[in-house]
Structure 1
Amino acid sequence: MRLLILAVGRLKAGPERELCDRYVDRARKGGRALGFTGPDIVEISESAARRPADRMVEEGAGLLAALPEETAVLALDPGGVALSSEQIAGDMAALRDRGVRTFSFLIGGADGLSNEARERADRLIAFGTATFPHQLVRVMLAEQIYRATTILSGHPYHKA
């Protein structure tokens, strides 16, 4: 199953990009034996619209346009449910075992996801109740995908 991260904005060179790349690389290596490819990252341009609502609509349209035709979608949203790392791993494994070809993760811009993007999601999740910069959320998601591969493979990285 292909793992795909669609994120609004570009991570510039620096510690966030390096850390994200490290977790993506680890997830790719660990995921191969589990039947996963990727995660691949698609960066959607940030909108230059003046109003936040307009930015969300434009960015949401970009995210939706970049989604593969047939994909399961998990979107990160402050109104979503908090899942444990084991639950994320379980979701990934269940989708893979059902023959889902692609599992896409959506990360909105600084203003969040559009209503259309949230409605397209099969599940909305949140990394707790705190607010995080969307660039940092990408790092956190990459780490959770890597952690899921370690949980599914029985690797000791996840010590819960």
Structure 2
Amino acid sequence: MRLHICAMGRLRGGPERSLIDDYLKRLDRTGRPLGLGPTTEHQLDDRKGGGMEAEAALLDKACPAGAVRVMLDERGAVMSSPDFARKLERWRDTGAQDVAFFIGGADGLAPGLRDTGDAAVSFGAMVWPHALVRVMLAEQLYRAATILAGSPYHRV
């Protein structure tokens, strides 16, 4: 099952970029044997400054047809890492070819785009900068793969 991170903004360098690259590299090694991956990062820019609706159109276009659509949103479900791993496992085992995770810009995701989601996930009630959400998502995807692989990375 291919994974897609569809995110507004480009991260060219810095600590966030290094962390994302590290976790996605680990995910590739651990997840591929489990049928999770490859992971593609779609970094999108709204160069015309069209706001949330323009961002929504770019994010929607980056998502593969037929993908499970997961919205990263403060109003989404808060779940444990094992629950997140089981959700990925269910999607994989029920035949999903692609899962796309949507991360909005500074104002979040447009309501119309949010409504197209198959699931919504929150990393807590606090609002996080989109660059940190990408890091946290990459880490949680890697953690999910280690949970499914029975690796000791995740400790309860």
TM-score normalised by L of structure 2: 0.96
Runs of 4 or more off by more than 3 Å in structure 1? none
**Distance (Å, rounded) in 2 between the aligned partners of 1:6 and 1:129:** 21
User: Deviations for 1:8-38, whole angstroms, at most 9, x for unmatched residues?
Assistant: 0001211110001000110111001101222
Contact 1:46 1:109 in 2 (8 A): no
Q: Match of 2:34, SS?
A: coil
CA drift at 1:130 = 1.2
Contact 1:81 1:125 in 2 (8 A): yes
Whether 1:3 and 2:3 are equivalent positions in the alignment is: yes
Q: What residue number does 1:98 align with? A: 94
Q: What residue number does 1:16 align with? A: 16
Q: CA RMSD in A?
A: 1.0
CA drift at 1:81 = 1.4
Q: Match of 1:139, SS?
A: helix
Q: Match of 1:111, SS?
A: coil
* 1:6-155 map, 5 Å: 6-49=6-49, 54-155=50-151
**Distance (Å, rounded) in 1 between the aligned partners of 2:115 and 2:63:** 14
Q: Match of 1:64, SS?
A: helix
Contact 1:74 1:125 in 2 (8 A): yes
For structure 1, the residue ranges without an aligned partner over 5 or more in a row are: none
Q: Match of 1:116, SS?
A: helix
TM-score normalised by L of structure 1: 0.94
Q: What residue number does 1:157 align with? A: 153
**Distance (Å, rounded) in 1 between the aligned partners of 2:139 and 2:46:** 23
**Distance (Å, rounded) in 2 between the aligned partners of 1:47 and 1:126:** 27
CA drift at 1:57 = 0.6
**Distance (Å, rounded) in 2 between the aligned partners of 1:9 and 1:34:** 30
Letter in 2 for 1:15: P
Letter in 1 for 2:89: A
Q: Match of 1:70, SS?
A: coil
Letter in 1 for 2:43: E
Contact 1:47 1:55 in 2 (8 A): no
**Distance (Å, rounded) in 2 between the aligned partners of 1:57 and 1:64:** 10
For structure 2, the residue ranges without an aligned partner over 5 or more in a row are: none
